[in-house]
Amino acid sequence: MALSPSKTEELLVEQRGRVAVITLNRPDRYNAISRDMLNELSEKMVEANKDPDTRCIVLTGAGKGFCAGLDLIGVGEGNIGGGDTKGGNRPARQLFDLRDAPINVMWNIDTPIVCALNGPAAGYGMDVALLCDMRIAAPTAKMAAVTAKRNVVPESGGTWLLPRLIGWGKAAELYYRARTVDAEESLSMGLINTIVPADELMDTAMQWAEEIADNAPLAVQTTKRMMRMGLEESYDTAVDHLMVHLAGMFQSEDFKEGVQAFLEKRKPDFTGR
């Protein structure tokens, strides 16, 4: 089952087998996220996560940039998180209701997300890249932690994510100094997984995504969920939760298929059941 078409040309959706490719498509604005893009990105992430035939998502940007952050015009009109696109006069408590915003949706879905980082990611765009499970970067990719230069904070989860990814000291260095780091330094800091030539970026991202899609989807998605929950759980609680999931997985058709494929020395054909 393929994802439904996007309601806006500012977000492109393409189904490539078991992989959903989502492209931020405002190249003239370095893919700064508009109000329409916020809602549509959330919807497509949720749709992909609910689709049993979609086993991985690839997120990238059109043109030279990945994402320049939130469109400041949209923010100026009062839309911060991606809900109602009309009301700059809404109460403050509604302005910060981010349950359906991309940042929360991306964190909570179990379908893996591969970021094909084709260029600079700044502010909100940097947080969106960090919310992907892994990042494959072109040599032109950059991470711009520049919020302090604009008298704002990383409102999209960056202050929670970044110290966990690279440690307190490095995260503090990037945020307090409002640094922009290139692909090589991002790799050395652990912000990205690998760097590939620009003309190989999407092919590499698709290769990784297809390798993920070849594996048992229940195992991959449960692993992602347990990793996410494990950030806040004790060791004993995490192990207990893992054993509960494992007991159910032992009863699945895919477990039987995995064992049979191993015995027969062939590639398994997982169905998600």
Q: What is the DSSP string of 245-258?
A: HHHHHTTSHHHHHH
What mean pLDDT do residues 39-44 have?
Answer: 93
Helices 124-131 & 158-166 angle (0-180, nearest 10): 50
Question: What's residue 88's pLDDT?
Answer: 47
Q: What does the block give as tokens for 180?
A: 């922009």
Q: What does the block give as tokens for 165?
A: 């990814």
What mean pLDDT do residues 61-75 have?
Answer: 84
When mean pLDDT is compared across 16-25, 87-96, 105-114, the lowest value belongs to 87-96
pLDDT above 90 (res 117): yes
Question: What's residue 150's pLDDT?
Answer: 84
Question: What's residue 73's pLDDT?
Answer: 63
What mean pLDDT do residues 214-230 have?
Answer: 93
In the chain, pLDDT over 90 holds for what percent of residues? 67
**Residue in the structure block whose two tokens are 């405002």:** 26
Whether this prediction's pTM lies above 0.75 is answered by yes
Burial call 86-123: b when 16+ CB within 10 Å, e when fewer: eeeeeeeeebeebeebbbbbbeebebbbbbbbbbbbbb
| Angstrom distance (rounded) from CA 112 to CA 224 | 7
- Residue 222 DSSP one-character state: H
For the chain, give the number of residues: 273
Q: Name the nearest CA neighbour of 249 among 225, 217, 224, 227.
A: 217
pLDDT above 90 (res 219): yes
pLDDT: which is higher, 37 or 157 = 37
61 Cβ neighbours under 8 A, 6+ residues apart = 23, 24, 25, 27, 30, 31, 67, 118, 119
| Angstrom distance (rounded) from CA 129 to CA 143 | 9
Q: Name the nearest CA neighbour of 157 among 133, 123, 119, 180.
A: 123
Average predicted confidence (pLDDT) for the chain = 89
| Angstrom distance (rounded) from CA 81 to CA 256 | 44
| Angstrom distance (rounded) from CA 154 to CA 256 | 45
pLDDT in tens, 239-273: 998 898 888 888 899 899 899 899 999 999 998 88
Strands 142-144 and 120-122: what pairing?
A: parallel
pLDDT band at residue 9 using 50, 70 and 90 as cut-offs: very high
Strands 19-24 and 120-122: what pairing?
A: unpaired
Question: What's residue 78's pLDDT?
Answer: 47
Question: What's residue 152's pLDDT?
Answer: 84
pLDDT above 90 (res 91): no
Q: What does the block give as tokens for 111?
A: 């379908």
Question: What's residue 12's pLDDT?
Answer: 96
